[in-house]
Amino acid sequence: MKKLKSETVRWINSRRPILGALLLLAVLAGGAAARWQFFQPAVKASGAPTPGVRVSYDYAVTQPIPQSTDLNPARVALGGKLFHDARLSVDDTISCASCHNLAGGGVDNRSRSVGVRGAVGGINAPTVFNSGLNFVQFWDGRALTLEAQINGPVTHPLEMASSWQQVIGKLVQDPVYVQEFSKLYRDGLTAPNIKNALAEFERSLLTPNSRFDKFLRGDSNALVEQEKKGYALFQSYGCSSCHQGVNLGGNMYEKMGLMGDYFADRGNPTEADKGRFNVTGNPDNLHEFRVPSLRNVALTAPYFHDGSAKTLEDAIAVMVKYQLGRPMPDADLQSIAAFLRTLTGQYQGKPL
């Protein structure tokens, strides 16, 4: 039975691009999915518009980000303090917020993040916003939960370079922390409870009420015509076969370079380029990564795990070449970029 399950998983992984395309076709076919039609140019398979034809937008492709959560507010507040506390690092210089700036897109806008003593990491920091909506954490999916993810940066030698024994040794000297943990957790200030508080805070980092969310909730004027066309093109070109769901991504793995050898063309291979292979050791997972969320994507440059695309337009061009393997007129690329800029949401009621 174990062997059969393993072979089944291998078969699914090897055919994920085809299955994803079939899933998209099923979604676009409509079925019981709710649709909302707008009178504007439709999009052919080539991407060229046909004037005067209705275009269907399928709600099954994505949904608005929830506007509230049922999280414990006291634990969220505690986690927020820890998120900004540099004592989690070995030399008290780096906090979670150092690489995940909440005043921007939840990133540091560097190709590689800088840790303690100026150490440079090996991969681009993904956004912390809406990370609780991802099905796994890290580009290679090595953490199944936010709690498990937190262990990575705290102990990584190029990031915080600390240990939980060191962290607890510092925090127990802070009577405020001791009191708050004692109130919220039966066993007080422990490593699992620190991770849980941080994870609860990260789950609270939702960014609802983007213009696209308002559009999905029924406000047809939330997007201008170019942005609506960009959303139609985003679907017709096949972008939504990987970027779908409430987070417009973050719910599947995909290989970087389905339609071309991205890494050979880019050159200078690194260990991080191996992606999920570094976790599983399975050759089928080489260059495979968790599909990133597109929420707030206009704020999270540079793009990809290697930070190689400096602008949103650069990133779209790379995806068109290496993931779709088809030409795209510049006008279509600009319309898709315009649509993606509507995905910038709000944090704590204020626009990002």
- Beta strand 42-43 with 253-255 is unpaired
CA distances, 212 to each of 52, 137, 186, 223 (Å): 23, 25, 42, 7
Enumerate residues 6+ apart whose C-beta is below 8 A from 199.
79, 132, 145, 146, 147, 149, 150
Given 147, 159, 180, 288, the catalytic residue: 159
Q: How far apart are CA 290 and CA 249, in angstroms?
A: 8
Query: What are phi and psi for residue 307, nearest 5 degrees?
Result: 60, 30
Contacts of 226 (CB under 8 A, 6+ apart): 334, 335, 338
- What separation in angstroms does the CA of 251 have from each of 242, 254, 307, 324? 8, 10, 21, 19
Q: Are 79 and 198 in contact (CB under 8 A)?
A: yes
Q: In this structure, are residues 158 and 297 in contact, taking their beta carbons and an 8 Å threshold?
A: no
Contact 280, 346 (CB under 8 A): no
Instruction: Please list the helix, strand and coil fractions of the chain in percent, rounded to the nearest 5, in that order.
Output: 45, 10, 45
Query: Dihedral, CA atoms, 68, 69, 75, 80, nearest 10 degrees?
Result: -50
159 is catalytic: yes
- Strands 42-43 and 49-50, by their bridges, are antiparallel
Residues 94 and 272 sit within 8 Å (Cβ to Cβ): no
DSSP 221-265: TSS-HHHHHHHHHHHHTTGGGTS-TTTTSSSSEEES-SSS-HHHH
- Supply the residues annotated as catalytic: 159
